[in-house]
């Protein structure tokens, strides 16, 4: 996705931009200042961290103009009977007891990723994705959505198997110990554009192997045979 170009066009028309980077920050280098994004958000659990915590980057000039959206301790400066003033950044957005354990866990995950090296993670994912694309393209009735190679895609492959509903494919793969996601992936308009009820999504990360991709492909073949009555 040409994110930088989309941001430039939006800014030229006076539109602020929030980038959902949950599927990119854990997998590749992202420079928010080069993107010139107004806000960038991503989750902790998609980068080896705990659930229930994430990160919001925002331009200081915009964050300063925003009112708090959660009330609680530590987010105020002075409270009077008829008015209050808020604490500075980032405290005014952190009302109440923070998710201390989550923050520690996310920090440890970031340290671990930095220790491995994001470039190494990207290279490993692209190698796996390239291998998976080759294997899936050899399967009859498998329709792969998106670019046919790794030049313009991340470590995610969405696909469909003939007329078999993706939920059924996902269920049978689960019985083989293969974890995929089946559904509309928070993108129902795209599903309608593609003319499908949903897709199956296989995602790769630093801990996956080619052996697991072989298991994925074998499980898809078994699922197809099952529904075809073989």
Whole-number pLDDT of residue 230: 54
* Residue 83: CB atoms within 10 Å: 7
The first and second tokens of residue 77, run together, are 């400066």
pLDDT tens, N- to C-terminus, the chain (230 residues): 789 999 999 999 999 999 999 999 999 999 999 999 999 999 999 999 999 999 999 999 999 999 998 888 889 999 899 988 999 999 999 999 999 999 999 999 999 999 999 999 999 999 999 999 999 999 989 999 999 888 888 999 999 999 999 999 999 999 999 999 999 999 999 999 999 999 999 999 999 999 999 999 999 999 999 988 75
Structural domains in the chain?
A: 3-71+98-116 (3.40.640.10), 118-228 (3.90.1150.10)
- CA angle 48/51/57 to nearest 5° reads 80
Q: Which of 2, 186, 193, 211 is catalytic?
A: 186
Distance CA 115, CA 162 (A): 42
State yes or no: is 192 an active-site residue.
no
Whole-number pLDDT of residue 151: 83
Whole-number pLDDT of residue 199: 98
pTM: 0.89
**Consecutive H or E run containing 200:** strand 199-203
Whole-number pLDDT of residue 72: 87
Whole-number pLDDT of residue 118: 97
CA 120 to chain centre: 19
Residues 50, 66 contacting (CB under 8 angstroms): no
Pairing between β-strand 76-79 and β-strand 84-86 as defined by DSSP bridges: antiparallel
Whole-number pLDDT of residue 152: 86
Which residue in the block uniquely carries the two structure tokens 């007891």?
Answer: 97
Whole-number pLDDT of residue 206: 96
CA distances (Å), 52 to each of 18, 105, 196, 203, in order? 20, 11, 31, 21
């Amino acid at each position: 996705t040409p994110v930088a170009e989309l941001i430039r066009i939006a800014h030229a028309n006076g539109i602020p931009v929030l980038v959902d980077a949950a599927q990119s920050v854990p997998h590749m280098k992202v420079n928010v200042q080069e993107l010139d994004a107004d806000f960038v958000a991503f989750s902790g659990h998609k980068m080896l961290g705990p659930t229930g915590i994430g990160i919001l980057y925002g331009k200081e000039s915009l964050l300063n103009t925003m009112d708090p959206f959660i009330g609680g301790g530590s987010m105020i400066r002075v409270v009077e009977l008829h008015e209050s003033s808020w604490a500075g950044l980032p405290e005014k957005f952190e009302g109440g007891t923070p998710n201390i354990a989550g923050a520690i866990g996310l920090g440890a995950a970031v340290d671990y990723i930095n220790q491995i090296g994001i470039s190494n993670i990207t290279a490993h994912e692209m190698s796996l994705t390239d291998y998976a694309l080759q294997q899936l393209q050899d399967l009859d009735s498998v329709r792969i959505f998106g670019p046919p190679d790794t030049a313009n895609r991340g470590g995610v492959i969405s696909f469909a198997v003939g007329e078999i509903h993706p939920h059924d494919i996902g269920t049978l793969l689960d019985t083989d110990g293969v974890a995929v996601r089946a559904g509309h992936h928070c993108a129902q308009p795209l599903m309608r554009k593609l003319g499908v009820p949903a897709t199956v999504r296989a995602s790769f990360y630093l801990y996956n192997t080619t052996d697991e991709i072989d298991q994925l492909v074998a499980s898809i073949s078994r699922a197809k045979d099952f529904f075809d009555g073989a």
